[in-house]
Chains A and B, each alone.
Chain A
Amino acid sequence: MSAKKTSAMDPARRRFLQDAARGTAGCAVAGMGLMWMVQDARALPERAIRPPGALPEADFLASCIRCGLCVRDCPYDTLVLAELGVDGAATGTPFFDARDIPCEMCDDIPCVAACPTGALDKDLTDIDDARMGLAVLIDQETCLNALGLRCDVCYRVCPLIDEAITLERRHNENSGHHAMFMPTVHSDKCTGCGKCEKSCVLPGEAAIKVLPIRTARAESAEHYRLGWEENNPLVDEIIDLPDRLPGPGTDNLAAPGGFEPAFKLPTVGGAGQ
């Protein structure tokens, strides 16, 4: 009988099991709340750019202990720790807003050197290899160069001038006989330092902005091949497609014995081509 069994159970054991169940259930509830908060903390806003060498966001939140040593060793006060409810990044994690203070791309990368855990990857030894984000000429209507002026400031301040940003000439339809020099960012060189965004002369928001790579870049499908970059045949095993040579069974009108249309177009002379 079950009732008898229950009463026969050692009271100490019973109490232990009850306590364990209560503790586990309580922790499950609290744990779900905590998990929700952790997931919520992943929502990194577009404006918050991580320091150079920062691991991808998911790994970053496993490795950054939020000590702020990178902030302390940043000579330009670029980096700040996110404040709860003020900055969008996870509380206490380092970031910078390029429009506020951009990264000056120090040669010795002191922020990375300062990081005790490797949340900022020590494998980054050349600051030109940093990929903090990617600059994008996001407002191509207000940009002064797009209006036909020679502002060029973002291009001039770029630490990798003519590599990360080039000026691409384009016909100016407005005047009909002038050129526009469109600032054009190249993702293979741009470090995401944000000097272009900082120096954009427009009041308020900049026309060129550093965006996180995840936002700025599309992803090519794996099977896409760029013919001008590949010397090898594009297809591994060449498929032998039927050759369209003159002959019976083809639609080559000129071929003897080929397709004969039901009616013939009037021709001036000779066979229809």
Chain B
Amino acid sequence: MSVKTALPVGHEAIRDKGLIKAHKYLILRRLSQAFFLSLFLLGPWFGIWWVKGNLSGSLTFNVLPLTDPFILLQGMVAGHWPEMTAIIGAVIVAAVYALIGGRVYCSWVCPINAVTDTAAWAHRRLDLPKGWQPKRETRFYVLGMVLVVSMLTGAIAWEVVNPISMLHRGLIFGVGFAWTFVVAVFLFDLFVSRRGWCSHICPVGAFYGLLGRKSLLRVSAEKRAACDDCMDCFAVCPEMQVITPALRGKDEDTALILSPDCTNCGRCIDVCSVAVFHFTHRFDETPAPGRARTKPKTHKKIGEAA
């Protein structure tokens, strides 16, 4: 471990790049999330009906139908074959996310992302134990469970509890007590399981991850040779297991982060003071030499290094 590990996360990036640039993608993502939410709110708040509906299903400019493919799939499993409008909408959404990365939905659109990111930030600031860490496959078990329950009950099962639609629909149509689900997710992530909801449980994210298995837009650790082991990327990454194969790969290993778990959130790019990461496409074969293997250093005490 480098001595820099002990510094606050993003410390060197803020020092070297400035506060704004060290949060570039975070700011862009919040703007993107706010943008998609505000599109839906323009109607009810200002009477500008460009976009009607919510993330489950919507109609833009009275021509473009969009449907959540996961919700539609549950409906099909439950025994209802939908009208063509919904199918077209779902195909469009699925195609877009299959192209740009399924979990781009999670980090750039989903309104719960701000909630769980805040929980993760508070978790880091409070230096809480990481708590229950379910296995990586858990979300796929949950995904299967949701489909089985939809089939057995003949109803779209996940919408009974889905905090994403609870929050999004709540903001647009009136929230009732749906906010309790949002608070529950926040508290779960903060006290029970670090990054628990989005990175371990949520079947919506699991579904979109599967959609984007072969997506084009990828983060690459191209300048991995420059890595100074500050570990900040691991600290901010919601799916930190995706970084290792790329960052710690040898010369012949690809520097692309190809795991479908990666949400393309770009936080690793933000917090890296030595610009290891950047966005590229999955066919980018720019040679990326691995890090020169140095002899394991004898551990210094953190106090000495400063």
Q: Which of A39, A42, A81 contacts B174 (CB 8 A)?
A: A81
Q: Decide yes or no whether A148 CB sits under 8 A from chain B.
A: no
Q: Decide yes or no whether B161 CB sits under 8 A from chain A.
A: yes
Q: Which of B52, B71, B137 contacts A69 (CB 8 A)?
A: B52
Binds B, one of A83-91, A127-135, A206-214, A237-245: A83-91
B148 touches A31 (CB 8 A): yes
Interface size on B, residues (CB 8 A): 57
B144 touches A27 (CB 8 A): yes
Whole-angstrom distance between the alpha carbons of A122 and B83 in the complex?
9
Task: Give A81's nearest chain B residue, CB to CB.
Answer: B173
B53 touches A69 (CB 8 A): yes
Whole-angstrom distance between the alpha carbons of A66 and B68 in the complex?
11
B160 touches A62 (CB 8 A): no
B173 touches A71 (CB 8 A): yes
Interface size on A, residues (CB 8 A): 48
Considering only residues 28-59 of chain B, those with a C-beta below 8 Å from chain A are 43, 49, 52-54, 56-59
The interface residues of chain B lying within 8 Å CB-to-CB of A68 are 52-54, 169, 172-173
Whole-angstrom distance between the alpha carbons of A60 and B141 in the complex?
27
The interface residues of chain A lying within 8 Å CB-to-CB of B101 are none
Task: Give B89's nearest chain A residue, CB to CB.
Answer: A116
Considering only residues 15-65 of chain A, those with a C-beta below 8 Å from chain B are 19, 23-24, 26-28, 30-31, 34-35, 37-39, 41-42, 55, 58-59, 61-65
Q: Decide yes or no whether B289 CB sits under 8 A from chain A.
A: no
Additional A-B contact list (5), CB under 8 Å, known A27-B145, A69-B57, A80-B174: A62-B156, A83-B175, A84-B177, A91-B160, A92-B56
Residues of B participating in the A interface, judged by any CB pair closer than 8 Å: 43, 49, 52-54, 56-59, 65, 67-68, 71-72, 75, 78-80, 82-83, 85-86, 89, 135, 137-138, 141-142, 144-146, 148-150, 152-161, 165-166, 169-170, 172-178, 180-181
Residues of A participating in the B interface, judged by any CB pair closer than 8 Å: 19, 23-24, 26-28, 30-31, 34-35, 37-39, 41-42, 55, 58-59, 61-69, 71-73, 80-87, 90-92, 114-119, 122
